[in-house]
Amino acid sequence: MGSQDTAPAGRDGRRARAFEDVLAQIERRIAEDGLTVGDRLPGERHLAEQLGVSRASVREALRVLEALGVVSSQVGRGPDAGAVLTARPATTLTDLLRLHLGLSSLSPREVVETRMMIEQWSAGRAAGRAAPEPLARMRAALDGMARAATVEEFVRHDASFHLTIAELSGNRLLAATMRAVRAAVEEHAVRAVRRLGTTEGLMADHHRIYEAIATGDGTAAIAAIAAHLARAYPDTVPHDARGGALPGREAAEEPA
């Protein structure tokens, strides 16, 4: 490749900007060189020479990667120069979801429906994976909700409870997605609790979810999650999802 700031035309006939080609080449290098979190990319000047592009293009590509949570830029010289590969998928997803919710390109209903599917699948898996440490975290979250002095504090402990369930699923992408969804809709969750006027029913739901997971009853855990979200979002949860699982319930109940 030459040092020009445009790449060959793509299939759609447009000429990609140079930094887009740099992104693609860095992605290939990460895969081909077996780079992983904590590894350092070459410095800006070396990357420009290796990839045959301008330093401005490399700089722009690295800014995009940093915004995506893939690299953390390091200022310095010698061995401390260059960008370090990181992994912050939940942070990036949260920012994107929050922006799209703010722009109304995603509706609260779509987000709650997505949460319903994620949580039901997670609860079914978690019921077969319950271990002392995550169960202790769930109990601590229950205690925190019971003692919460404000709705905001209640919602923070509520988020911890549900995120632990997602982590128990054993699927890191699903857990990151759930963390992003919860963070992006935190204000909606606060409003939902305020609208109910009491946390008594929500607490009862949480205890049912906990008991089902702790005793390994995946079917009960899935149903408890559906009932809980229907209570919290009565105008948003699909009617056909209130009494049980959405399609995919069988997969959620497969043994780990």
Q: Go through the chain and tell me how many residues it has.
A: 256
Give the pLDDT of residue 81: 59
C-alpha 152/C-alpha 191 separation (Å) is: 9
Contact assessment for residue 101 and residue 115, using Cβ atoms and an 8 Å cutoff = no
- Across the range 88-100, mean pLDDT stands at 70
Task: Specify the 3-state DSSP secondary structure of 60.
Answer: helix
Which pLDDT does position 254 carry in this prediction?
38
3-state secondary structure 66-126: HHCCCEEEECCCHHHCEEEECCCHHHHHHHHHHHHHHCCCCCHHHHHHHHHHHHHHHHHHH
pLDDT (0 to 100) of residue 90: 64
* Whether pLDDT at 138 is above 70: yes
How far is residue 177's CA from residue 134's CA, in Å, rounded to a whole number? 19
Residue 238 φ then ψ, to 5°: -55, 140
By three-state DSSP, how is residue 31 classified?
A: helix
Whole-model pTM: value is 0.68
Summary mean pLDDT of the chain: 79
14 secondary structure, DSSP code: P
Phi then psi dihedrals of residue 70, to 5 deg: -95, -30
SS3 7: strand
Mean pLDDT (whole number) for 107-133: 89
pLDDT category at 57 given cuts 50, 70, 90 is: confident
Q: Domains of the chain (ranges plus CATH)?
A: 6-85 (1.10.10.10), 90-252 (1.20.120.530)
Average pLDDT over residues 63-81: 69
